C-alpha cells in the first residue's frame, strides 16, 4: 500500500508521546514493505533541525511546510463567540500547507491518507478535491475531553467559563467532522467508545501506540530517585507537575531530604522552569536520548488529571523496567493492572504512600518494573500492532475498490 501521514508538527526527534507514536508507526509500516510518505508542519515550537533537513530520520519521503501557529487574539475571540473553527484547530489552518498537501495528494496515488490528530480535520475538503484515497483520522486524543477536565480544575469562575466554551466548541467541531473521514483509528478502546458516543458511524480500528521491543536492554538496579519526562508545552503536564510539587514533593522531602526529583521535557516556559528550580527540582530540559535518560532514573511519576488518549512515556518507562506511579487519568487506555504493573494514586496522600513504599523497598520497585516490562512485551509490540493496522487498511482499501497492494 501507499500511505501518507499528515502531521501538525515535526515528529522528530521523537521526544514526546505523540511524536513517538507517529514515528513508530511510520517505521513499522515501512518495515512491512509499505510505501510511506510524511508531510509535517514546521512550527516555532517544533522546528526542523538543520541536521534533519537533508537526512530526515523518518522512513520514506518527507515533506515539510513552515506554518505560523502563534497566538492570535482575534482568532481566539472569534472562536469563542463566532461560528468558526475552534481556535485550537484554527491555529493549524494554513494556505501554504493546504497548497502543498493538495500537490502531494494529487501526485501520490495514495491508498490511505492518515491525519495525525483532529486538528487536521479541516483539510478533509482539500483532500477530497485532489485524491480518491481513503482518509483516516488517527485520534491521539479526544481533544474536547482534555478541555472539559481542565475546566473542572480551574478555581476561577471566568477561567472555567472560558475553558468550557472552548470544550463545547471543540466537541461540536470533532463531532461534525467524524463522519467526513472514511476510517477512524483511535489509540485506546476507551477513545473508540467515546467516538461512537459522539456519533461516529465509520469503520474503526483501535491501534495502541507500540514500542520497539527488539532491543530492549536488561533492566538495571532500582534507583532511589524520582523523575518526570514529557512535553512541557502541553498544559495538562504542567498543571499536573504544579500539583505534584505543591502537594506531594514537600512530604517526600520531609522523609527523604536528599531525594532527587528530575524533570525533563522540551519547550518549558521560562516562568515554569523558575518555579521548578525554586522547588528544588533538578530541571534537565530536552534530553538527547530518552531511553538512556530513563535507564539512569528511578521511579516515573505521571501526575495527570486532564489528559486523553494514552501516555506513551508510561509505556516506554514500563518497557525499560521502571516502576510508575500515576493517576487514573494517566493510566487511562493502558489496561495495566493497578498494584501489579503500575501504581495508581487518586490524591496527594496515596501518591506519597505509593512512593514511600517504592523508595523504602527497592525489591518492590524492581518487582513492579519487571512485571511492567513483561506487560509491554506481551501487549505493546510495535511490529504486531502495526501489522494489525496495515491489515485493517488493506481490507478497507479492497472494499473501497483500491488495489491495496
What pLDDT does residue 402 have? Answer: 64
What pLDDT does residue 265 have? Answer: 93
Distance CA 135, CA 110 (A): 10
Burial of 198 by CB count in 10 Å (0-12 exposed, 13-18 middle, 19+ buried)?
A: middle
What pLDDT does residue 71 have? Answer: 80
Residue-wise pLDDT for 168-206, tens only, equals: 989 999 999 999 999 999 999 999 999 999 999 999 999
Q: Write out residues in the chain with pLDDT < 50, as ranges.
A: none
Residue-wise pLDDT for 66-113, tens only, equals: 999 988 777 667 666 666 788 889 899 999 999 999 999 999 999 999
Residue 118 phi, psi (nearest 5) = -70, -15
What pLDDT does residue 79 have? Answer: 66
* Contact between residue 146 and residue 308 where contact means Cβ atoms under 8 Å apart: yes
What pLDDT does residue 405 have? Answer: 52
Distance CA 26, CA 35 (A): 10
* CA nearest neighbour of 107 among 80, 77, 131: 131
What pLDDT does residue 80 have? Answer: 63
What pLDDT does residue 304 have? Answer: 95
Write down the pTM of the prediction: 0.89
What pLDDT does residue 273 have? Answer: 97
Find the angle CA(191)-CA(195)-CA(197) to the nearest 5 degrees. Answer: 115
What pLDDT does residue 83 have? Answer: 62
Distance CA 150, CA 53 (A): 37
Residue 276 grid coordinates: 521548578
* Contact between residue 25 and residue 5 where contact means Cβ atoms under 8 Å apart: yes
Residue 117 grid coordinates: 490528530
Distance CA 91, CA 73 (A): 11
Amino acid at each position: 500500500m501507499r500511505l501518507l501521514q499528515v502531521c501538525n508538527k515535526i515528529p522528530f526527534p521523537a521526544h514526546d508521546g505523540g511524536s513517538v507514536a507517529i514515528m513508530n508507526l511510520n517505521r513499522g509500516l515501512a518495515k512491512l514493505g509499505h510505501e510511506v510518505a510524511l508531510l509535517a508542519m514546521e512550527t516555532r515550537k517544533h522546528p526542523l533541525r538543520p541536521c534533519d533537513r537533508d537526512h530526515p530520520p523518518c522512513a520514506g519521503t518527507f515533506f515539510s511546510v513552515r506554518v505560523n501557529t502563534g497566538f492570535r487574539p482575534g482568532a481566539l475571540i472569534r472562536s469563542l463567540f463566532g461560528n468558526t473553527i475552534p481556535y485550537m484547530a484554527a491555529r493549524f489552518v494554513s494556505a501554504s500547507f493546504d497548497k502543498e498537501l493538495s500537490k502531494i495528494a494529487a501526485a501520490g496515488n495514495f491508498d490511505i491518507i492518515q491525519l495525525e490528530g483532529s486538528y487536521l480535520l479541516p483539510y478533509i475538503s482539500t483532500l477530497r478535491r485532489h485524491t480518491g484515497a481513503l482518509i483516516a483520522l488517527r485520534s491521539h486524543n479526544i481533544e474536547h475531553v482534555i478541555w472539559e477536565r481542565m475546566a473542572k480544575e480551574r478555581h476561577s469562575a471566568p477561567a472555567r467559563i472560558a475553558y468550557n466554551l472552548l470544550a463545547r466548541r471543540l466537541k461540536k467541531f470533532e463531532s461534525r467532522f467524524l463522519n467526513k473521514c472514511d476510517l477512524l483509528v483511535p489509540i485506546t478502546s476507551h477513545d473508540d467508545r467515546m467516538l461512537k458516543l459522539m456519533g461516529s458511524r465509520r469503520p474503526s480500528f483501535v491501534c495502541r501506540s507500540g514500542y520497539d521491543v527488539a532491543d530492549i536492554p536488561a533492566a538495571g538496579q532500582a534507583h532511589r530517585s524520582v523523575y518526570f519526562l514529557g512535553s512541557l508545552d502541553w498544559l495538562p503536564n504542567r498543571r499536573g507537575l504544579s500539583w505534584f510539587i505543591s502537594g506531594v514533593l514537600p512530604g517526600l522531602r520531609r522523609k527523604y531530604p536528599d531525594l532527587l526529583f528530575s524533570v525533563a521535557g522540551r519547550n518549558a516556559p521560562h516562568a515554569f522552569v523558575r518555579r521548578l528550580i525554586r522547588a528544588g527540582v533538578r530541571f534537565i530540559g530536552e534530553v538527547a536520548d530518552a531511553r538512556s535518560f530513563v535507564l539512569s532514573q528511578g521511579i516515573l511519576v505521571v501526575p495527570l488529571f486532564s489528559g486523553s488518549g494514552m501516555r506513551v512515556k508510561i509505556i516506554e518507562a514500563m518497557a525499560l523496567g521502571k516502576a510508575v506511579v500515576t493517576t487514573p487519568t494517566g493510566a487511562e487506555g493502558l489496561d495495566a493492572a493497578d498494584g501489579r504493573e503500575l501504581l495508581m494514586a487518586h490524591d496527594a496522600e496515596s501518591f506519597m504512600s505509593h512512593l514511600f513504599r517504592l523508595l523504602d523497598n527497592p525489591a518492590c520497585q524492581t518487582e513492579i518494573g519487571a512485571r511492567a516490562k513483561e506487560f509491554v512485551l506481551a501487549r505493546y509490540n510495535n511490529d504486531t500492532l502495526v501489522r494489525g493496522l496495515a491489515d485493517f487498511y488493506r481490507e478497507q482499501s479492497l472494499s473501497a475498490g483500491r488495489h491495496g497492494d
